Structure 1
């Protein structure tokens, strides 16, 4: 009897391949009200949250591979993989997918792309799949529940707030208006609930049979916009630009992934796995790692990455610390790196057993929180926190503002707060979907 999982994957590959054959190949600061609803909904990240990005080659496979396989595949060009963490239509067993596996894979410097395979379009996917409702109220409830289910699964696996979770929506009929509205309503509720729970919203769709419809409502006030888009198009090209039907200005800043080749076998380190090929420049899962206190006295954990910030608590010598990410701060001895812990406090990396005594330590990511840009005409990035500083670039509407910290500057609209990006540039917080439209937004530290 044919393996139903292989049949499912083969059908999906065929649809993406057929789509490939069908398809062809500096703005001033805009004054507009800060968004508090669709399309850019604020993300309420809790203390200890941080996002993680990955840019490079990746693969996904139906069942998460054994740790020994990942070790063997260190010889491959891949350093990220998609894993199915939840969903009523997740068909493959996941005996390897545990919190211990997630931590071990992360320590090997791999990144994880969490996938929720939940309800599917009522006019597409497989006949036996559980489907999204065509009634708006029911579709919203389903999307909210899907987000809660995915977050619960992510937390159980050790994937921290700030992680991106991707909802797998398979192909569907493009001419069915009720079906289209149901899918978009479901995904809007998915995004809003993920943001409320402190996670980043991702969506996986076939480029021709779904993604274009999502792109068509990119600026619609009727739907919350997801933070990242992962498309399937099996044309063998791993480019993240030039997608037919999805303009390059949409999801433009570390917000894209592409599955460009379907099911096939590859072998590295003597181990063969059946995979899909992916190219990513997108948010992935954040996983905290444990290190120990190396100081001979109690280590002070502070509210920000500097000795000028208040002491919140202390950690005894030799005790374990759960580190989420690293960020620059006041220099202590040989390093300016500070470690953010899962409770949202910061400790100097000089007193922590991370690999480097002077700089950043892989696989820990840099501390950053993404929020969507709300300025309809794009947002000017400046060299400092004020309109008098030189313009350095522009963030398009809907781009992710990858914010490291906030600083007071010249007033724009309702606020004097400016957001510093991880590239060192500043934008007015008035045009970024942080929780507050007038003042500081926790848990972002002050610069």
Structure 2
């Protein structure tokens, strides 16, 4: 995906069984990834009328624990971060001065090649200090990992994925482990999304196809196992369709986000040839729509690719201080009712990962989640806003894939009796920010409150438990 690795330009213009939502009673109607760039994906919703059909008897099969959706046990201090808008990527991370100048550009996210055996870009600027400084400038980071490449494609000199499936699986695990280590060293936090750059390859070589899909499946499963979000970058015509073809296959774990390359100067995240709009449908898509070119902003010129994103990106920790005159208590949840884990002295430094609603303290209901997983009231922290949320801090979110083959209802409350307002398609991400009790579905009474305020039964999302609450998601 580096500038030296573009594919042929002529082409580039180039856990659960199928079932219905038991709270619905009738079948759902179905609704509708890298070289460099992204575009906004629209969540497709259905009216209640579209969901009506012939009533059928329901059965509760036990949730499957295998692919394509694998559970994500997020660490205590984890949170996912999402970005919607324009992004650019370039081979070598620009100097901080250039990033400061480019705050005048339409881009607010930047792709960075942070690791991988086939990364060819020198990265003298890409340091923990650079990451923290760029984050403070309100840039989102799109982490790109250029690991092993297809045995039937990419550059002849690239290190390749093995054609032996067992070896390809091991290589995928090793890539995920290496990506996490390198990202951590740069200051990226648990819950970050990493994009595995797979360059163009032959679409007719079945052994090669199996090798690539096996490698990416293991990449995804290992990232999930360790509490991270999985992304894949592929050429739309020379890779992405094959990933789309196994979207619901039980043989492969499905990545959380897809970033495609197609240089047609169209930044739409819908209408991709070979990838139905119903796949990777809920803030899970990116498109690199324009290849190598110069752009100048704030008096600084950079050679870039352009992208449109609506997708998970890196999670960072932002530096603030305690503003209270007495010690500030950190708690296990966003309320004074939660146990105290430790106290922070006045003017002590804090590393804030995200913000979430909680008990009102002073004039604000905002609480800050720290990198150790504890919470402090925003009333006593030096964030820009005294009463509301503060940029660039994201909301605390925990995305899990939807496992219901026919889709999952978004309801106005935590129970089957509440009206359904929309549908989350199979494999889409349920962006959860808290959990609470509601009516029983399958083996659980837990319902997930989504970022849009609606509720979805926890029985049909790939988090660690289908019987009780899943840490570190707070209670509503």
Considering the TM-score relative to the shorter chain, is it more than 0.5? yes
Q: Which residue of structure 2 aligns with residue 21 of structure 1? A: none
Q: Answer yes or no: is the 8 Å Cα contact 1:33–1:430 preserved in 2.
A: no
Q: Which residue of structure 2 aligns with residue 137 of structure 1? A: 166
Unaligned 5+ runs, structure 2 = 15-45, 53-57
List per-residue Cα deviations over 1:390-443 (Å, max 9, x = no partner): 111110000000000110111100101001101111111000001011111111
Among 82, 93, 99, the alignment partner of 1:53 is: 82
Among 13, 17, 24, the alignment partner of 2:13 is: 17
Distance between the aligned counterparts of 2:8 and 2:432, measured in 1? 36
Among 382, 395, 400, the alignment partner of 2:424 is: 395
Q: Which residue of structure 2 aligns with residue 307 of structure 1? A: 336
**TM-score relative to the length of structure 2:** 0.90
Q: Which residue of structure 2 aligns with residue 370 of structure 1? A: 399
Distance between the aligned counterparts of 1:317 and 1:267, measured in 2? 44
CA shift, 1:9, in A, is: 3.8
Q: 1:177 to 1:149 in 2, by over 3 A?
A: same
CA shift, 1:165, in A, is: 0.1
Q: 1:13 to 1:291 in 2, by over 3 A?
A: farther
Superposed CA RMSD in Å reads 1.3
Distance between the aligned counterparts of 2:251 and 2:302, measured in 1? 42
Q: Answer yes or no: is the 8 Å Cα contact 1:116–1:165 preserved in 2.
A: yes
Q: Answer yes or no: is the 8 Å Cα contact 1:30–1:375 preserved in 2.
A: no
Among 316, 330, 336, the alignment partner of 2:359 is: 330
CA shift, 1:11, in A, is: 4.3
Distance between the aligned counterparts of 1:14 and 1:358, measured in 2? 53
Distance between the aligned counterparts of 2:6 and 2:243, measured in 1? 24
Distance between the aligned counterparts of 2:324 and 2:105, measured in 1? 38
Is 2:186 the counterpart of 1:157? yes
Q: Answer yes or no: is the 8 Å Cα contact 1:406–1:418 preserved in 2.
A: yes
- Kindly report which structure 2 residues correspond to 1:180-195, keeping only aligned pairs within 5 A, or say none: 180-195=209-224
Distance between the aligned counterparts of 1:35 and 1:365, measured in 2? 32
Q: Which residue of structure 1 aligns with residue 36 of structure 2? A: none
Q: Answer yes or no: is the 8 Å Cα contact 2:81–2:312 preserved in 1.
A: yes
Distance between the aligned counterparts of 1:275 and 1:12, measured in 2? 18
**TM-score relative to the length of structure 1:** 0.95
Among 225, 236, 257, the alignment partner of 1:228 is: 257
Distance between the aligned counterparts of 1:104 and 1:240, measured in 2? 30
Q: Answer yes or no: is the 8 Å Cα contact 1:385–1:427 preserved in 2.
A: yes
Q: Answer yes or no: is the 8 Å Cα contact 1:9–1:263 preserved in 2.
A: no
Distance between the aligned counterparts of 1:31 and 1:425, measured in 2? 23
CA shift, 1:389, in A, is: 1.1
Among 76, 83, 87, the alignment partner of 2:112 is: 83
Distance between the aligned counterparts of 2:10 and 2:134, measured in 1? 31
Unaligned 5+ runs, structure 1 = 19-25
Q: Answer yes or no: is the 8 Å Cα contact 1:13–1:263 preserved in 2.
A: no
Q: Answer yes or no: is the 8 Å Cα contact 2:7–2:154 preserved in 1.
A: no
CA shift, 1:12, in A, is: 5.9
Q: Secondary structure at the match of 1:423?
A: coil
Q: Which residue of structure 2 aligns with residue 22 of structure 1? A: none
Is 2:106 the counterpart of 1:110? no
Among 239, 254, 267, the alignment partner of 2:268 is: 239
Count of matched residue pairs: 435
Q: Secondary structure at the match of 1:150?
A: helix
Is 2:198 the counterpart of 1:169? yes
Distance between the aligned counterparts of 2:8 and 2:353, measured in 1? 36
Q: Which residue of structure 2 aligns with residue 275 of structure 1? A: 304
Distance between the aligned counterparts of 2:399 and 2:147, measured in 1? 25
List per-residue Cα deviations over 1:130-167 (Å, max 9, x = no partner): 00011110000000000001111110011101100000
Q: Which residue of structure 2 aligns with residue 42 of structure 1? A: 71
Q: Answer yes or no: is the 8 Å Cα contact 1:337–1:348 preserved in 2.
A: yes
Q: 1:12 to 1:42 in 2, by over 3 A?
A: farther
326-335 or 308-317: bigger deviation: 308-317
Distance between the aligned counterparts of 2:433 and 2:130, measured in 1? 29
List per-residue Cα deviations over 1:199-257 (Å, max 9, x = no partner): 10000000010000000000000000000000000011000000010000000000000
